[in-house]
A and B are shown apart, each in its own frame.
Chain A
Amino acid sequence: MTSLRHSSIAAIIIVTGVLLGASGLVAQAPDRSKPPTPGPPPSLTIPATEKRALPNGLPVWIVEQHEVPVVQIDLLIKPGGSADPPGKFGLASMMADMLDEGAGSRSALEIADAVDSLGASLSSGSGLDLTTVRLHVPVARLADALPIMADVALRPTFPDKELDRLRSERLTSLLQSRDDPASIASVAFPQIVFGKTHRYGVSTGGTSETLRGITVADLRQAHERTFHPKSATIVVVGDITADAILPQLESAFGGWKGAAAAAPTPVAAAPQLTRREVVLIDKPGAAQSQIVVGWVGVPRTTPDYFPLLVMNTVLGGSFTSRLNQNLRETHGYAYGASSTFDMRRSAGPFYASARVQTDKTGEALKEFFIELNRIHEPVPADELTRAKNYLALSFPRRWETTTDIAFQLQTMFTYDLPENYFATYLERLQRVDAAEARRTAQTYIQPEKFAVLVVGDLKRIDQSVRALDLGPLRTLDIDEVLPK
């Protein structure tokens, strides 16, 4: 990024001018001896957010986007499943899922019919930190769709029979998770890193055991606890103006009252892993092994956010990243490999993962650790610059569609990011240097303490994994991971 706003830029503008002048002349063979140098980076005008509020205090953030006659309206409420009581993990997720299964005077089928007939899409859901009700609708049908959205958010009826139906669907879906090594790993890895009693150790949607225990009374309670105008914000993006949308929002959400909700207790920080351990799960006949290695990462509010972003882009966050180049391009062991810091309000997991061909499982695992160790060495300047440029220059892409823009504002709301967050984003990326990248790698990537999970055909991979001697090794039964 640093190289992009300097004096060389003027020269490039002149080159572009010459090309323009050449239009219409007989084209000559281009000079292919080196790649063309990019012109000065275009400036992105981040769409202005107009911040208003309804008389009941509900904030409304509006971004006008008149390209296509659609509008997206997201009701965002903090938190989500992170507030699930012990023994009821999955409650927020089920509550959110149930919102459109009966609301106001409409049944589940009537809601779906009304929404579908308007060409709208209305969805509700709950992650760990956020509960959402989202409407995407052609602007001409907004007035008809908005009252349905308000019913779904504020007046759900939680019918018993719909809870039974959704519960059965989820239990079946958990059963089906056993079919796929990637699904098995996505349940098992958090259990290994956080433990089954920590909220982050269990999927947002819950377990078969917790799902069986959820009642309609639980749903009502969770709804009352979560849905307060003071914990919420409405984000509007699309072909509409603030003055046009506010009266409509007021008639839909203006009557929503509620005392200030008690600030949710954040999820307690999980104890960090202290020694490397290998866990194997058998998946007989699997053509590939799912590998996941990692430990407890960082919260979204970490002061090291930007250096981590850059360091992880080098390690496994892009196509040219080291893990992908090594596992895919150099060795051909996998279709792809990556690493992720899953940042939440409290520290979520860091993990590197790939699906590797069964007969190369040991070799692939060895390469994982080579890269996880090599990231502790200083990152060469060109590699660091490429990672920073990639992040900085692709930033405008996040502001393209109504959904993209709404997502940016959602992140800001969920994690209480400062007003100047986007305005200073590029500058903060630029400031990351090799020393900082190295420091964060050394602090947050400690492969000798990682949990190593391999889901695959044990009779074919067991030996090659043991031979690496990565640490104590145990086998986990699928029934422990995904109890029926």
Chain B
Amino acid sequence: MQAESPKTAPDLKVTYTQFTLPNGLHVILHEDHSVPMVAVNVWYHVGSAREKPGRTGFAHLFEHLMFEGSGHVKEGQFDELLEAAGGSNNGSTAPDRTNYWITLPSNSLELALFLESDRMGYLLDTMSPDRVNGQRDVVKNERRQSYENRPYGLAELTLDELLFPGAFPYHWPTIGYMDDLTAASYEDVVEFFKTYYGPNNASLVIAGDLEPRAARALVEQWFADVKRGPFVAPIAPPVAPVVKDVVRKTVSDRVQLPRLYLAWVTPPHFDPGDAELDIVAALLTGGKNSRLYKRLVYDLQIAQDVSAFQQSQDLASAFYLVVTVKPKDKEAIGPEAMIARVQQVIDEEMDKLRTAPPDTRELERALNQLEASFYRRLEAIGGFGGKADQLNAYYTATGNPDYFNEDLARYRALSPEDIQAAVARFLPKDRRVELIVEPQPSKK
């Protein structure tokens, strides 16, 4: 079987119209009538990177409060109204942005716009210290569930502290520290909303079963009374931290198997090197024939799993390599020795990529997988990663909502030599974070 490179680039066009309201809200509309549903998606251009010392986790706690009611929506009513209309909704917070989505039958588009505009314009009208306390408890339980009680979860919180030292705004976890969650106050909520949640710091995408003229009229109607907020200056771009040598740390957790994390600070999203490193991740750990999976998991069977990915972000990205190590059958071996032998294989394989380009077929395999993932991303209108969310992501990053073809072209333009150069330049062996998780000795 010889896979041919496609001779014609796929057409990934997503048509849209866009306009900006007088209050600064940017709006993007995309028509897709395949099912009678619409997706309403809002990005606020603020995330945990804007948090102040002593208030980590606040952007995410604030996100939770956005579902608790607003000036004309009673507590609990946000979800009740949407469920009664057959809708679903969610939100998420990242270092650079906070996003919210509602997907519902197209006859109820106006309901979604009422809810979105009300919390954008009138969130504080009914905000109270009680409401903050309620979601504080929920968020603390989210932290327990997703990090403290999840195997290796606490190590994942430690990793970025090592990778982005000092005051760099990716140093702390988006979920926040427990003490800071305890300290968050009603006054913080008021200030954060007034500073960052104005329509001029947001963008709204509506995708799905809509007629653009009617949808625009509804948007104009429901967002007309939402007052513009203060100008939000772009986050002062701090100089990306430089990991000057190997930063190695060992922590212990209540786990059966040791794990090794390697991490590097890498170029921001869409900068040169970013696409290369996505491909590097695929070459190392994407599929059975990828270099690290094949050696560590398939051939040597000294790892249970291995994965790598480029976490693309606005101010600086991170490249992570995660491997859970294991003994061979009935082998008596300590955690340090298990880690050491796996690390040696990783270094051998990455040295090969640092010194020689991948062969063209290997690169083509990774590119074809990536191209297929672009198709998959066009199937759903709503939810995280649906078309509405992607239009908002591309608009936010590049100013062009329909950046699908341009994005794919970044990858298609790469040569084997580009990949080699990116590994050599951005993933050096002597400047990286090495975090080791060792099983806690059993107390039994």
8 tightest A-B contacts by CB?
A: A393-B86, A332-B137, A42-B36, A117-B3, A119-B372, A119-B368, A23-B217, A112-B288
| B91, chain A: closest CB distance, angstroms | 12
Judge whether B110 is part of the interface by a CB distance below 8 angstroms.
yes
Judge whether A2 is part of the interface by a CB distance below 8 angstroms.
no
Q: Please tell me the number of chain A residues within 8 Å of chain B, measured between CB atoms.
A: 90
Judge whether A168 is part of the interface by a CB distance below 8 angstroms.
yes
Judge whether B209 is part of the interface by a CB distance below 8 angstroms.
yes
Judge whether A22 is part of the interface by a CB distance below 8 angstroms.
yes
In the complex, the answer to whether B213 meets A138 with C-beta atoms within 8 Å is no
Sorting the interface of chain B by its residue count into under 10, 10 to 19, 20 to 34 or 35 or more gives: 35 or more
Residues of B within 8 A of A286 (CB): 149
Which of B100-108, B335-343, B405-413, B425-433 contacts the other chain? B100-108
Instruction: Pull 20 A–B residue pairs with CB atoms less than 8 Å apart, ordered by A.
Output: A16-B214, A20-B213, A22-B217, A22-B221, A23-B220, A35-B114, A36-B111, A38-B110, A41-B105, A42-B107, A136-B376, A141-B3, A144-B3, A173-B304, A176-B256, A176-B324, A180-B149, A355-B144, A356-B141, A386-B80
Residues of A within 8 A of B329 (CB): 168
Residues 337 to 361 of chain A near chain B (Cβ within 8 Å): 355-357
Judge whether A178 is part of the interface by a CB distance below 8 angstroms.
yes
Which of A224-232, A270-278, A398-406, A446-454 contacts the other chain? A398-406
In the complex, the answer to whether A399 meets B220 with C-beta atoms within 8 Å is no
Distance, CA A30 to CA B222, complexed state (A): 6
Residues of B within 8 A of A443 (CB): none
In the complex, the answer to whether A20 meets B217 with C-beta atoms within 8 Å is yes
- Residue in A closest to B381 when the chains form the complex, CB atoms: A400
Which residue of A67, A108, A390, A403 contacts B83 across the interface (Cβ within 8 Å)?
A390
Residues 35 to 72 of chain A near chain B (Cβ within 8 Å): 35-36, 38-44, 65, 67-70
Residue-wise, chain B 74-86 has the 8 Å CB interface mask toward A (1 for contact) of 0011011101111
In the complex, the answer to whether B369 meets A287 with C-beta atoms within 8 Å is no
Judge whether B378 is part of the interface by a CB distance below 8 angstroms.
yes
Given contacts A113-B365, A148-B1, A165-B301, 14 further A-B contacts (CB under 8 A): A16-B214, A28-B221, A114-B3, A116-B369, A117-B361, A117-B368, A168-B301, A284-B443, A329-B134, A335-B141, A393-B87, A394-B87, A400-B379, A401-B379
Judge whether B424 is part of the interface by a CB distance below 8 angstroms.
no
Which residue of A69, A117, A181, A357 contacts B10 across the interface (Cβ within 8 Å)?
A69
Residues 122 to 144 of chain B near chain A (Cβ within 8 Å): 122, 134-138, 140-142, 144
In the complex, the answer to whether A332 meets B221 with C-beta atoms within 8 Å is no
Residues of A within 8 A of B151 (CB): 176, 179-180
In this complex, the member of A20, A117, A148, A385 whose beta carbon has the largest number of chain B beta carbons within 10 angstroms is A117
Given contacts A112-B288, A320-B80, contact A400 B254 (CB under 8 A): no
Given contacts A22-B217, A320-B79, contact A390 B137 (CB under 8 A): no
Judge whether A6 is part of the interface by a CB distance below 8 angstroms.
no
Distance, CA A69 to CA B371, complexed state (A): 12
| A107, chain B: closest CB distance, angstroms | 10
Residues of A within 8 A of B369 (CB): 116, 119
Residues 290 to 307 of chain B near chain A (Cβ within 8 Å): 294, 298, 301, 304
Given contacts A40-B107, A116-B289, A389-B86, contact A29 B225 (CB under 8 A): yes
- Residue in A closest to B443 when the chains form the complex, CB atoms: A284
Judge whether A109 is part of the interface by a CB distance below 8 angstroms.
yes
In the complex, the answer to whether B103 meets A287 with C-beta atoms within 8 Å is no
Residues of A within 8 A of B361 (CB): 117
Distance, CA A180 to CA B108, complexed state (A): 41
Distance, CA A117 to CA B222, complexed state (A): 49
In the complex, the answer to whether A396 meets B224 with C-beta atoms within 8 Å is no
Residues of A within 8 A of B218 (CB): 19
Residues of A within 8 A of B84 (CB): 385-386, 389-390
Judge whether B35 is part of the interface by a CB distance below 8 angstroms.
yes
Judge whether B231 is part of the interface by a CB distance below 8 angstroms.
no
| A207, chain B: closest CB distance, angstroms | 17
Residue-wise, chain A 166-178 has the 8 Å CB interface mask toward B (1 for contact) of 0011001101101
